[in-house]
Amino acid sequence: MKILIFCAHPDDEVIGMGGTIRKFADAGAQIRLVHFSAGNEGYSSAAEKSEICAIRARETAEVCRILGIAEYVNLQQKDWSIEVDHSTCRTVIAQIREFRPDAVFTHRHADYHDHMNVHQTVTEGWFHAPLACAMEDAPVWRPVPLYEFEVITLFPQPELIVDITAVMAIKLKAMAVYASQTGVVGGAIQMLEGRALLRGQSIGVRHGEALIRSAMRPRAIADIQALVNS
Amino acid sequence: MKILIFCAHPDDEVIGMGGTIRKFADAGAQIRLVHFSAGNEGYSSAAEKSEICAIRARETAEVCRILGIAEYVNLQQKDWSIEVDHSTCRTVIAQIREFRPDAVFTHRHADYHDHMNVHQTVTEGWFHAPLACAMEDAPVWRPVPLYEFEVITLFPQPELIVDITAVMAIKLKAMAVYASQTGVVGGAIQMLEGRALLRGQSIGVRHGEALIRSAMRPRAIADIQALVNS
Amino acid sequence: MKILIFCAHPDDEVIGMGGTIRKFADAGAQIRLVHFSAGNEGYSSAAEKSEICAIRARETAEVCRILGIAEYVNLQQKDWSIEVDHSTCRTVIAQIREFRPDAVFTHRHADYHDHMNVHQTVTEGWFHAPLACAMEDAPVWRPVPLYEFEVITLFPQPELIVDITAVMAIKLKAMAVYASQTGVVGGAIQMLEGRALLRGQSIGVRHGEALIRSAMRPRAIADIQALVNS
Amino acid sequence: MKILIFCAHPDDEVIGMGGTIRKFADAGAQIRLVHFSAGNEGYSSAAEKSEICAIRARETAEVCRILGIAEYVNLQQKDWSIEVDHSTCRTVIAQIREFRPDAVFTHRHADYHDHMNVHQTVTEGWFHAPLACAMEDAPVWRPVPLYEFEVITLFPQPELIVDITAVMAIKLKAMAVYASQTGVVGGAIQMLEGRALLRGQSIGVRHGEALIRSAMRPRAIADIQALVNS
Amino acid sequence: MKILIFCAHPDDEVIGMGGTIRKFADAGAQIRLVHFSAGNEGYSSAAEKSEICAIRARETAEVCRILGIAEYVNLQQKDWSIEVDHSTCRTVIAQIREFRPDAVFTHRHADYHDHMNVHQTVTEGWFHAPLACAMEDAPVWRPVPLYEFEVITLFPQPELIVDITAVMAIKLKAMAVYASQTGVVGGAIQMLEGRALLRGQSIGVRHGEALIRSAMRPRAIADIQALVNS
Amino acid sequence: MKILIFCAHPDDEVIGMGGTIRKFADAGAQIRLVHFSAGNEGYSSAAEKSEICAIRARETAEVCRILGIAEYVNLQQKDWSIEVDHSTCRTVIAQIREFRPDAVFTHRHADYHDHMNVHQTVTEGWFHAPLACAMEDAPVWRPVPLYEFEVITLFPQPELIVDITAVMAIKLKAMAVYASQTGVVGGAIQMLEGRALLRGQSIGVRHGEALIRSAMRPRAIADIQALVNS
């Protein structure tokens, strides 16, 4: 089982699906995390500016260790300038085809600018990865599910809730590692606690994380049993 | 495997999911169909008016035989007067609890008046069937998936497509049995052909039917593997 | 300061704005709560059915005492049959004109059936209360703000967050009084905790409640200073 | 040329399309106006209550004379209780089939409660009038365009603007006849002036009225020239 | 009669409006087709990569011959990098002013990335072409209708359906000429068949194509007769 | 009291909030206006092209004098090429932090391309100005309200209407100063008159301007009295 995660900045993966990542790791999955930006605008004091990317890289390395992420890529784009263009789209296709994941995860559209653009670029790349194009990058990969997680804007009606009760403490521990972001986004731990309680309650467990499955490519139902068991 | 279908009028079940029904029957499912209306406005000539409900009942009986629907209920509501109220909501709850289905199917909201009201009443009843209320009707039933099918308005982005290639001929045969409706809705067979080709193409088969799974009650993911296999 | 709250069922007022109510009470406001339904479907066992309305009435009385609600009205409508019609609209107008509130509170549209209908009826009544109609009911009352709270569906982007940190314990205590509902809606306390943490975090406090101000009647800005101070 | 107009209350037809009506009259059209309600809630003082329907009926008669409306029907429904049901739907079908219009006009969905319900009922009736149903009411009539006008909520992007510059004074004169409503809705003349200027400006004339053509039944283009000339 | 069509890639014009184009040609229209991209990502094997633009150019030339398109322009933008910017906007304005069309056609917004950007650029250019700006490019052209066709995402409620029954075979023949795309998008012919049947059924003919008229610039109705005849 | 206004082109500030600006000036506010573009496409004849930016700059200077705007900045971006990127976002942050406004104003999203992009960039910058980022530009400024005004697309339901009756003549005088735009956008004065009448009527005054307050950052209610008084 191989899992590929695209997000804009270091910490989005913990906020959106830190518990889910750790559950995948516990289930033996091979996990790759791709950050579009090194987080160049995420400093808390002018003094920190020149070091912030290095600081966040160290934090990310520790978070990967905690969550069980074996492979990490940073696309080195700049905050507020993440582009939806040919080159980034090709990069997403290449990542998918080279890693050959069983599922892909990224931002939902309804969020702020950088998250919207990552959403759109990843969706384009994911849609084209199983089509005959961009073929010199790597062999065409099969269609796999694309899931979207919530970071800032709440989903009004999420369709999937992952039970993360057993790994909630680890999610919070990972978030705490991103200490450089505490001064930037206030109350991150509180937000994670509140959201996990709320999402968990909707399925009758203590802590949960919400996902929506992209419907851009519909899912084929060959065996009718799938409608009942899923 | 037990399947419960609610729709407004005789023929909606064929248009929306005739192929899916037959696939369930072929897989050994026990199927119950509930029509809200006997179709009192579906006549093609003034002379036919007094007989139209009886005619459609006979057609429905034959369609049930063709599609493999063993149980049939008609709630005897009137066209253009299907209500979202306490009594109908209780009826839906009672149907679900008494039949104990593994999946429920009904209209999507975005359709015309009667279909919208059936959608809303069934969604309410389905939501409450596993809650502790209306308990004298029958024992509380467990949460099962609710799926929505398309009858008039096309889904802009359906998430599930059932491959009905093998049973498309049976779907068309069932539609032809509803001969009383030919004069009312023109080109029904053509519509079924066109839609099945379109939905099939989107998953790479010849004929398909589109479904959307209701997100009103989110689906719990306990085993993380489910995100990869589904 | 007088506050008028309309909601569908006993407990909606606590879930949606229990902390805000208590803050109003602490600020010396006179508060009236109007329930549309006595909660006839909210029983947890068949045995409880004949008593549920009486049980919930007792619970409501205790909740009113805890939150500081001095006046209580129950419109005795039935669950799943709350109507948007002339008679209920008149009742809302009469309540507003007779009580003469400084602000009105009710459900948001995007929620389930009963909540939607309460939203619509109250919005109609509130809109007409300052117009010259239904005049025999009571003298026309001046336009006052209408606020909407969240009960089931989360607001994707609420515009107002009330800091309820100081009264969060009282909100939870009030919810616990609605013991008859524990078996019906699971995890209510957990939901309240999660939501309050989340809403609080968005304004940098521990606990919050979200409101949206109805824009159906725009707010007049005569003194330009109001745009800066508000 | 025959024109059939359905609206909720006496004065909606002037606000929404008074200029368009008069232009139709000037072009020799035969016009029928159908009000759902006699306007029982539109009084400005308690004393006026028992007479308001009679007063508005006299005003309507005068408005019909001014705008050139030869036929008038009042369905005698109650304000805030206009229903979307079988009987009203049948009435709409009967009106269409008996009058045999070349175009039908009614409210847009996005407006307040009574207007929404008139919109929905008329849309249902208009959709079914050319289908083989409700046949004892009158012979099936051919499909004709359905247009929607704006009364309260502004259309964000109307597609059709009727140039009413030449008849604007008559529209205002007709509005002034509805003197009983002055105390109920403030500034009606000002609203008509402002909206007419705005809608006129968008097509480069002095005064205009906005319409949207219902897309519930698509328009067939047999002669390709129609796409260029229209 | 002059018709100007803007689309993203070679084959979009056939999918979206191949039948409509041929009907225009049969009616004697002068037709110009503008592709934004030469289709550089549309190859089916790595070997084909260096030749794909040339292959698609040859296919396009043949399709133009079949459909009766006399003039062809390719803007040579890259797939996934079609920009909404000043230079492309100027190009669209220049195309419109130089060709002087009676109607313009392009993509609908709700489609994938390249199609969205073409939609937006063409809409901007079309909106500005009759305004006094960019005047050195060519003399200002008069406002003409802008129509949007469907390529991937289905229109939930199209307002115009062109009857293409008589030219359906030609549309399919044109699609077959785009043989290079067969390996990229599976089942294109099936999709065209299904959609044409569905769109045709909605107006009672065998095959149809759906259009929506842009409402960004409203249509002026000076002669009231136009509302009845259209 | 300090007011900061961002808009795309010279004249947007008058159309959207000319009366509100003058009311702020009359109340003693210090006002800064930032235009993204110098208006390079807004000429009415080819001859005017090389001078149009200088002409509009002179008009803007006169408008600033009339409305009481003391500080003016032009970002010198090009029409149809206004970008949402890192550099412009930083510029917005720097403007806010350096000027230290009590309220910020800009375009609503639902408008045409340049306006949408200004909306998005300003919203991003405004959101980040109180966060610890981009710190070398200027010290972090506190969160202040962001308001959106209407220029082309009408707000379906604005929540705030500023009474501009007393300054309407000044708004029109300012618009008249933008004489270079008369040939580009027809009927601007008529549009301003119509819209002001309409917005005024909705709050019972002669002339008004509509605003919507951005909900991207929710407003904290610490003192419950604020809900009643606002």
Report the residue of chain B nearest C185, measured CA to CA.
Answer: B131
E33 phi and psi, to 5 degrees?
Answer: -115, 130
Where is B115: in which H helix or E strand?
Answer: helix B113-128
What pLDDT score was predicted for residue C44? 79
> Is the pLDDT assigned to residue D12 strictly greater than 90?
yes
Is 80 exceeded by the pLDDT of residue F136? no
pLDDT of C190:
95
E86: chain F residues, CB-CB within 8 Å: 78-81
CA nearest F122 in A: which residue? Answer: A113
- Output the pLDDT for position A10: 96
Query: How much is the average pLDDT of B136-150?
Result: 91
Q: What is the pLDDT of residue E46?
A: 79
Chain C residues in contact with D79 (beta carbon < 8 A)? 86, 133
Report yes or no: E202 at the D interface, CB cutoff 8 Å.
Answer: yes
Q: What is the pLDDT of residue B185?
A: 67
Nearest CB among F24, F158, F163 relative to C222 is that of F163
Which residues on E lie below 8 Å from D161 (Cβ)? 218-221
> Among residues of chain D, what percentage have pLDDT more than 90?
77
Looking at residue D183, its pLDDT comes to 67
Cβ-based contacts of F20 with chain C (< 8 Å): 224, 227
- pLDDT above 70: percentage of residues in chain E: 98
DSSP helix/strand/coil, C74: strand
Are B167 and B14 contacting, i.e. CB atoms less than 8 angstroms apart? no
**Across the interface, do D195 and F194 touch by the CB < 8 Å criterion?**
yes
Q: What is the tens place of the pLDDT at every residue in D76-104?
A: 998 888 888 888 999 999 999 999 999 99
**Touching chains F and B? (3+ Cβ pairs < 8 A):** no
Our CA-based measurement puts residue E37 at a distance from the nearest CA of chain D, in whole angstroms, of 27
Q: In the numeric block, which tokens belong to residue A170?
A: 């680890």
CB contact under 8 A, E157 and D228: no
Residue C87 touches chain A, beta carbons under 8 Å: no
> Are E and B neighbours with ≥3 CB pairs closer than 8 A?
yes
pLDDT exceeds cutoff 90 at C145? yes
Contact yes or no for F213 and C161 at CB 8 A: no
> Two tokens at C202?
């968005």
Give the residue from D62, D137, D75 showing the smallest Cα distance to D106. D75
Helix, strand, coil abundance in chain F, percent, nearest 5: 45, 20, 35
- The fraction of chain E above a pLDDT of 90, given in percent, is 77
User: CA E113 to CA A117: how far, in whole Å?
Assistant: 11
A196 vs C contacts (CB less than 8 Å): 194
| Three-state DSSP class for residue F103 | strand
Q: Do A132 and E49 touch (CB under 8 A)?
A: no
B41 and D85 within 8 Å at the Cβ level: the answer is no
Interface test with C, best of A201, A206, A207 (most C CBs within 10 A): A201
Enumerate the residues of chain C whose CB falls inside 8 A of the CB of residue B135. 43, 45-46, 49
DSSP state of F179: G
Give me the residues paired with residue D73 across strands. Answer: D34
Average pLDDT score over residue span C125-148: 89
Q: Which of A120, A128, A136 sits opposite E49 (nearest CB)?
A: A136
Amino acid identity, residue C195?
R
Does residue B25 contact residue B64 with C-beta atoms inside 8 Å?
Answer: no
DSSP string, A121-174: HHHHHHHHTTSS-STTTSPPPPP--EEEE-SSSPPSS-SEEEE-GGGHHHHHHH
Q: What values do phi and psi take at B32, rounded to 5?
A: -120, 135
Instruction: Calculate the dihedral angle through the C-alpha atoms of A76, A77, A78, A81, rounding to the nearest 10 degrees.
Output: 180
User: Is E185 in the A-facing interface, judged by CB distances under 8 Å?
Assistant: yes
B124 and B89 Cβ atoms separated by less than 8 Å: yes
Residue F146 has pLDDT above 70, yes or no: yes
> What ipTM, to 2 d.p.?
0.91
Q: Residue F185's pLDDT band (boundaries 50, 70, 90)?
A: low
> 3-class DSSP state for residue E123?
helix
User: Cα(C1)–Cα(B227) distance, rounded to whole angstroms?
Assistant: 53
Which of D159, D201, D207 to probe by mutation at the F interface, max F CB count within 10 Å?
D201
F18-to-C115, F68, F169, F199 alpha-carbon distances in Å: 41, 10, 10, 14
Of the candidates D93, D66, D88, the residue with the CA atom closest to the CA atom of residue D76 = D88
Write the burial class of residue E18 (CB in 10 Å: 0-12 exposed, 13-18 middle, 19+ buried). Answer: buried
Whether residues C198 and A200 touch (CB distance < 8 A) is answered with no
Torsion of the alpha carbons at D43, D48, D51 and D52, rounded to the nearest 10: -10
Neighbours of chain C (3+ CB pairs under 8 A): A, B, D, F
DSSP string, B141-192: PPP--EEEE-SSSPPSS-SEEEE-GGGHHHHHHHHHH-GGGTTTSTTHHHHH
Quick check: F191 pLDDT over 80? yes
Band (pLDDT 50/70/90 cuts) for residue C175 is very high
Yes or no: say if B203 and A222 are a contact pair by the CB < 8 Å rule. Answer: no
Determine contact, residues B108/B68, Cβ cutoff 8 Å: no
Would you call E184 and A134 a contact, using CB atoms and an 8 Å cutoff? no
Reduce the secondary structure of D126-172 to three states and give it as a string: HHHCCCCCCCCCCCCCCCCCEEEECCCCCCCCCCEEEECHHHHHHHH
pLDDT in tens, B47-75: 888 899 999 999 999 999 999 999 999 99
**Which of B110, B186, B206 is closest, CB to CB, to E204?**
B186
Q: Which pLDDT does position A135 carry in this prediction?
A: 73
| Whether pLDDT at C161 is above 90 | yes
Q: Which residues of D touch E201 (CB under 8 A)?
A: none
Residue F135 DSSP label: T
Interchain pair F187, D201: CB under 8 A: yes
CA distances from B64 to B43, B58, D150 (A): 21, 10, 47
List chain F residues with CB under 8 Å of D196.
194
Instruction: Single out the residue of A57, A63, A33, A69 nearest to residue A149, CA to CA.
Output: A33
Say which residue, D165 or C134, is predicted with more confidence. D165
Contacts of E55 in chain A (CB under 8 A): none
Q: Is A51 on the interface with B (CB under 8 A)?
A: no
User: In sequence order, which residues have a C-beta less than 8 Å from that of residue D36 and are 6 or more positions away?
Assistant: D6, D7, D8, D9, D75, D77, D82, D88, D114, D118
Query: Model confidence over F5-62: pLDDT tens digits?
Result: 999 999 999 999 999 999 999 999 999 999 999 988 888 787 888 899 999 999 999 9
| Contact pairs from chain A to chain F, CB under 8 Å | 36
Q: Residue D173 above 90 pLDDT?
A: yes
Measure A133 CA to nearest chain E CA, in Å.
5
Whole-number Å distance between alpha carbons of B19 and D33? 47
Three-class SS of residue A207?
Answer: coil
- Residue D212: name the closest of D132, D135, D145, D122 by CA: D145
Q: Considering only CB atoms, which chain A residues are within 8 Å of F127?
A: 112
* Residue contact A46–F133, C-beta within 8 A: no
Tell me the mean pLDDT in the region B196-223.
Answer: 95
CA distance C38 to chain A (A): 25
Query: Which of A31, A106, A224 is best to mutate for the B interface (most B CBs within 10 A)?
Result: A224
CA atoms within 13 A on the CB side of B5: 31
Residue B140 has pLDDT above 80, yes or no: yes
Strand ranges across the sheet with D160-163: D71-77, D30-37, D2-7, D103-107, D146-149, D208-213, D160-163, E219-221
Distance CA D82, CA D77 (A): 6
Contact F156 D157 (CB under 8 A): no
* CA-based R_g, chain D, Å: 17
Q: Report, as an integer, the average pLDDT of D211-229.
A: 92
Q: Which of F43, F81, F113 sits opposite E133 (nearest CB)?
A: F43
